[in-house]
Amino acid sequence: MIIRRFISGFGALWLRAKGLKIKRGLVLYGKPITHLTEGGTITLGENCVLCSKSEANFAGVNHPVILALLRPGAKLEIGDDTGISGGSFCAAKSVVIGKGCLIGANALVTDCDFHAVKPEGRRHNSNPDDIGCEPVVIEDNVWLGANVTVLKGVTIGRNTVVAAGSVVTKSLPPNVVAGGSPAKVIRDLEEK
């Protein structure tokens, strides 16, 4: 336990030196991959856990946690007490994750398409006007199962559970279980 906290403390210093804003209590299992842009911010709340090693998650982590800003001025915020296992978070505008969230192994959360949809010159087109981008909000206490993908413009309401392997293309209300591709509400959490 003491060794893990020391390494996490060192890791937090290393991430701060790279420009991340980190509140106290960060726990790291392995080294995350980070990318900041000019004027952009990545903020990690209190007591966040970033698991970048399979040895620390028996569901298996395919790659380190990735925290990436894609355009100048983008923001990525991860709330207090949120745990992430090998997830990828890419923000061209804004990705905000609430407090107390569980992000399953290898989830992907992104607010952009990465490439232009129009076919002409798609591979080399980096014009922001041609690449779809809308903010993503994941509210407090949301659980994303392993291998969930959350796409641009989505808001997931508080307490919602998204089943493993789901692709979330539209916003989900609070207090539900959702799943599928595209994800749909399966049931209300208030049901018995």
Mean pLDDT of the chain: 90
The catalytic residue among 35, 63, 115, 124 is 115
Confidence band for 58, pLDDT divided at 50, 70 and 90: low
Q: What is the pLDDT of residue 191?
A: 65
CATH code for position 17: 2.160.10.10
> 3-52, pLDDT tens digit by residue?
454 456 678 888 888 889 999 999 998 889 999 999 999 999 999 999 98
| DSSP strands (E only) in the chain | 21-22, 27-29, 33-35, 41-44, 49-51, 66-69, 75-78, 83-85, 88-91, 94-97, 102-103, 108-110, 136-138, 143-144, 149-150, 155-156, 161-162, 167-168, 176-180, 183-188
Residue 87 pLDDT > 80, yes or no? yes
**Segments forming the whole domain that contains residue 12:** 2-188
**DSSP 8-state assignment for residue 178:** E
The count of structural domains within the chain is 1
| Sequence-ordered list of residues with C-beta below 8 angstroms from that of 4, at least 6 positions apart, any chain | 27, 29
Active site residue 115: yes
